[in-house]
Structure 1
Amino acid sequence: MTHKLATAAAILLATAGTASAEKIKFDYWYGLTGDLGEVVLETCNRFNASQDQYEAVCVGQDGYEKAVQNAIAAFRAGKHPTILQSFDAGTADLMLSGEFYPVTKLMADTGVTIDWADYFPAIGNYYSSKSGEFFSMPWNSSTPVYYWNKDMFAKAGLTEAPTTWEGMEAAFVKLKESGQACSLAYAPSSWIDLEQFSMVHNVPVASNNNGYDGLDSELLYNTTLHVQHMENIQRWLTEGYAMLRTQAAGKTSRDSFVEGECAIFFSSIADHNTIHKLKPAFGWDVQIIPTYEGVERTNSVVGGASLWVLSGKTDDEYKAAAAYLAFLATTPEQKFLLENTGYIPVTKSTYEALKAEGFYSKEPFINRDIAMKSLTWSEPTQLTRGIRLGSFIQIRAEWTAEVEAALAGQKPMKEALDTAVSRGNELLARFAQTYEGKSFP
C-alpha cells in the first residue's frame, strides 16, 4: 500500500512539473510589415523571454486591412486570435461587433494594473467609450508630418519650413525659381489630406460630431475647407509644383524624397526611422502639417493601431493577454518601440522620461517629438476627438478612387468629392441599418 501511494505521489509530482513547465500560449495577429513588422516580432520575443508563464505566438497578416478581414473570417471557424492589432479605420466596426473584451475591464478582471489616465487624450479618446473606458490599448501610435529637404530649401533662400499652406505655396514658387523641378512628391491619402487636415482645422468629416453622437451620420467633407484644399493640390500638380508619386506609378513619394527628386513629402512620423536608415544624401527635417491662414490650429489625432483583445477565449489566455499588454505599456518597452521605429510615446510619463534624458536632442531622434506637439496642440474638441464611422475602411477607399479620378483629369475635384460622399453615405446607411437600435458606447 505504501509503495502504491509513493508511486501515485511520484506521478502527481511529475505531472505537476510538466504542467508548470508548459507555457500558456495565446495568438497575436498583427498588421505591420517590413521593418516595423520585425519590431513587432521582437517585442513578442522580449515578452516571451521576460517570464516563464506565457508565450505570445505572433503572426503577421500582411497589412492592417488583411489583419482585420482575416480575424473576422477566423471568427466563423472559432480560430481567431486572442489579440488583434487593428488600425484606426477599423475602430467603429470592432466596437459595434461586440466581439471584444474591453481592455480596461480585462485588466480589472485579471488584477493587472495599467494607469489609463496616463495616456494622452488625443490618443486614448480614439479607442475609448464616452465614459472613458478603453476598448483597446493604444500601442504603435503616429500622426502625420511633412519631411523637407534642408539643402534644397537653402538653395532657394528658404531658412524655415512653413506652417501655413499659403507659406507652403510661396515656398513651392521659390523652389521652382531656384531650379528645383519638383517641390512636392504627392500621393493621395485620406488619412492625411482629409482626416488629419480636418482635425487641425477643426472642421467636420461627418455629422454627429464625426459619428460619435449617432449612427445616423452623414459625410460632410464636400462642404468644408477640404474642397478648396484638394482643388489647390490639383492646381499645384497642374502648375508643375507637385508630382504624383504613388506605388502604382512606379515610385512612392518617400522614394522620390529620399532620392532627392522632390523637396517635400507628407507621411506618418513612423517614417522618421526608416528615412534615417535609407541615408539620404542631404540634410532633412520634419515639420507639422500646415493650416490655412486665419484658422486657429487644433490638435491632430492619432494614427497607427491599437491592440484589441477578442472574445471567446479562455481565462488563461486572457491572463496571458493582460500580462502582455502590461509589458508593452511599460516605459522601457515603449522606449524600445520608439528607438526602433518612428512611433511616438502614448503615455505622458514615458514622454516626460524621454525628454528628461534628452532623447529628442540626439540622433536619430532629433525633432521627432514634433508629432507630440501636433497631437497636443490643443485640448481635443468635439470634432478633434477623432472619427467614429462604420465601414470607414470602405469610405476611405471611395475617397481615394474619386480623388485619383479627378487628378487623372476625368472630372472636376468637387464632383469627385460629391460622388465619394454620396457613396460613403450609402455605406453609412447600411451600417446604421445593420446595427439598428444600437449606438456607440
Structure 2
Amino acid sequence: MTLAGCGSTGSGEVTLKLVAADYGDSSANSSEHYWADLVEKFEAKHPDINVEVTVLSWNDVDAEVAKMVKAGEAPDMAQIGAYSDFAAQDKLYPADELLSIPTQGDFLSSLTSAGEVDRIQYGMPFASSTRLMFYNKDLFAEAGITKPPTTWEQLAADAEQLKENGVKYPFALPLGKEEAQAESLMWLLAGGDGYTDQIGSYNLDSELNVKTFDWLKTDLVDKGLVGPVAPGKLNRQDAFNAFSNGEVGMLNGHPTLIAQAKKKGVDFGMVPLPGRSGKAKATMGVADWMMAFKQNGHRDQIGAFLDFVYSKENVLDFSERYNILPVTNSAVDAMSEDAKFKQLEPFLNALPTSQLYPVGNTSWAQVSADIKERIGKAVAPGGSPAAVLTDIQNKARAAEAAE
C-alpha cells in the first residue's frame, strides 16, 4: 500500500479528499507525482480549496474505498475500478450535478454510456485502453510467417509454425486470476458475442460463446500452442514479461506493453485480434472511473476540481505519463494530431467502437470475480467449456436477480 498526501497546508475553507489508484510501476513514476503537480496548479487558482490525495496500489484501492464507505468515512472522490455498486446505494452525485456542460459533453460517448446506471451518469471515465494482438516480428520471420493472421484458422496455423520453430509460447493465453475477465471478453467479442445480450442481461453460456471456448480448447490449448504454463495459471503480467523476453509469438495486450517490449528491444507489430472468419465485430475497451460521494457535501468544490482534472492539458498529461488512452474528445483529437503518439494510433482508432465490461450492472464485480476464478477450467484437460460457462452464467443470473 502506497500512501501520499498532496495539497497545501494553508487554511482553505474546504479540504477535499481523493483516493486514487496508482498507475506507475515504481516509486519514480507513481501517480503521486501526477496528482501533486495537478493539485499544486489547482490550489494556485483556488486558494479556498485544498485537496488531499491518497494514492493506493491497484491491489488495494477498490477494497479500501469500499471499507471507508462502509465505515461511514467516504472520501469526497475516488478514482478506482468500479462505481455502480456505490451508485446503487445512492452514495454518489450524478455527473450533471458536478461538471460544467462542456466538461460532461467532452467525454467519449461510449464511455459516458458505460458510466450510467438507469440512464443517469454517476461514473466519470478517468482512463481508458483498448486491446490489440501483439506479435513478435523476428519470431514470425524465423518461422517463415510473412504477415499476421486475419482469421482464427490462420492464427492456429501460425501458432503451429511457431511451435515447430521452437517458440516457447506460440500464443500466450493468460486466463489466470489477474485479468482473466479481460482475455475472455476479447475472445468472446472476436467470436461474435460477449458477456451480455442487447438489453444488458448476462448471456455467458450463449451458443457462440461456447463455440469460442471450444475452439480455444481444441485448436490452441489441446494442441500445445499456448506454452508451458496452463492458461488458468498464467497471469497477464507474466505473459507480458515473456513477450518482452522474446519468448512469445502472439498475445493480446494493451498500450503499456509497448514501452515494456521496446525497453527489451523486441521488434513487434500490433493488429486487431482476428474474428472467427475475419474482422471481429468489436474489440474490448476498459475504463477506470472517477466518482464523487455525497456524504461530505462539497458539491461545488468537487465540481470545480473535476472540471480542472478533465481539462485537455491535464488529460493529455496523464495519458502521456502512463501510456493510457484519453477519455475526452478534445484530448483524443490532440493526441491524434501529435506525431509523438503515433504508436497509440491503432488503440485510439479502436476506442470509439470498443465494448466495455458491463460496469453499469451492480453485480459485475461479483461476476467478474467468478470469471477470474473459474474460466481457466474451461480449457483445462478434461474441462468442458459448456459446463463451466453455464455454471458462471447461473451464478451471474442469480447475482443479477439480486440487484
Structure 2 spans left out of the alignment, 5+ residues: 1-8
Give the structure 2 partner of residue 389 of structure 1. 361
Q: Which residue in the other structure is 1:11 paired with?
A: none
Q: Find out whether 1:135 has 2:127 as its counterpart.
A: no
Preserved contact between residue 114 and residue 356 of structure 2 (Cα < 8 Å): yes
Q: Which has the larger radius of gyration?
A: 1
CA contact (8 A) 2:170 2:225 kept: yes
Within the alignment, does 1:84 sit opposite 2:74 as a pair? no
Residues 1:353 and 2:334 aligned together: yes
1:102-117 matches, within 5 Å, as: 102-107=94-99, 112=100, 114-117=102-105
Mapping of residues 196-275 of structure 1, within 5 Å: 196-199=186-189, 203-207=193-197, 209-211=199-201, 219-235=202-218, 236-243=220-227, 244=229, 252-275=238-261
What is the match of residue 286 of structure 1? 270
- The match for 2:346 is 370
**Alpha-carbon distance in structure 2 between the residues aligned to 1:309 and 1:200:** 35
Residues of 1 paired with 2:154 and 2:174: CA distance? 20
In the alignment, is residue 148 of structure 1 matched against residue 140 of structure 2? no
Choose which of 57, 65, 71 in structure 1 pairs with 2:65. Answer: 71
Q: Which residue of 2 aligns with 1:27?
A: 17
Q: Report the more deviating stretch, 31-40 or 94-103.
A: 31-40
Q: How far did 1:311 drift? A: 1.5
Is the CA contact 1:118–1:348 (under 8 Å) kept in the aligned structure 2? yes
Contact 1:27-1:83 within 8 A present in 2 as well: yes
Counterpart of 2:311 in structure 1 is: 330
Report the secondary structure of 1:369's partner residue.
helix
Q: Give the counterpart letter for 1:322 in structure 2.
A: G
Matching residue's letter, 2:277:
E
- How far, CA to CA, are the matches of 1:160 and 1:55 in structure 2? 54
Q: Tell me, yes or no, if structure 1 residue 184 matches structure 2 residue 165.
A: no
Question: Does the CA-based 8 Å contact 1:83-1:307 persist in structure 2?
Answer: yes
Q: Structure 1 residue 95 and structure 2 residue 87: aligned? A: yes
Letter in structure 1 aligned against 2:113? N
Residue identity in the other structure for 1:154: A
What is the deviation of 1:57? 1.9
For 1:375 and 1:199, the matched residues in 2 are separated by: 14
Q: Distance in 2 between matches of 1:321 and 1:83?
A: 8
Q: Secondary structure at the match of 2:397?
A: helix
1:59 aligns with 2:54: yes
Aligned-residue sequence identity (percent) comes to 16
Partner-residue secondary structure (3-state), 1:183 = strand
Match of 1:311 among 274, 278, 294: 294
Summarize the Cα distance change of 1:69–1:358 in structure 2 as closer, same or farther, 3 Å threshold.
same
Report deviation, 1:309. Answer: 0.5
Give the Cα–Cα distance (whole angstroms) in 2 for the partners of residues 70 and 344 of structure 1: 26
Deviation at 1:200, TM superposition (A): 5.5
Which AA in structure 2 matches 1:373?
Answer: N
Which shifted more, 230-239 or 32-41? 32-41
Separation in 2, partners of 1:390, 1:332: 33
Distance in structure 1 (CA, Å) of the matches to 2:319 and 2:23 = 16
Q: Which amino acid aligns with 2:98?
A: L
Tell me the distance in 1 between the aligned counterparts of 2:231 and 2:56: 23
Q: Which runs of 5+ in 1 are unaligned?
A: 1-18, 212-218, 432-441
Seen in structure 2, the aligned counterparts of structure 1 residues 33 and 311 have a Cα distance that, compared at 3 Å, is: same
Closer, same or farther: CA 197–283 of 1 in aligned 2, 3 Å: same
Contact 1:142 1:270 in 2 (8 A): no
Instruction: State the secondary structure of the residue aligned to 2:325.
Output: coil
TM-score (structure 1 length as normaliser) = 0.77
Local SS of the residue matching 2:111: helix
Per-residue displacement from partner, 1:204-248 (whole Å, max 9, x unpaired)? 52346224xxxxxxx322123222222222231221211236795
Query: Following TM superposition, by how much is the alpha carbon of 1:81 offset from its aligned partner in structure 2, in angstroms?
Result: 1.0
**RMSD, aligned α-carbons:** 2.9
Change over 3 Å in CA distance of 1:404–1:385 after alignment to 2: closer
- Taking the aligned partners of 2:371 and 2:350, their CA distance within structure 1 comes to 24
30-39 vs 141-150, greater mean Cα deviation: 30-39
The answer to whether the Cα contact below 8 Å between 1:402 and 1:419 also exists between their aligned partners in 2 is: no
Offset at 1:95? 2.7
Distance in 2 between residues matched to 1:147 and 1:330, nearest whole Å: 32
**CA spacing shift, 1:126–1:352, aligned 2, 3 Å:** same
1:205 aligned partner, one-letter code? Y
Whole-Å Cα distance in 2 between the matches of residues 201 and 404 of structure 1?
Answer: 17
TM-score (norm 2): 0.84
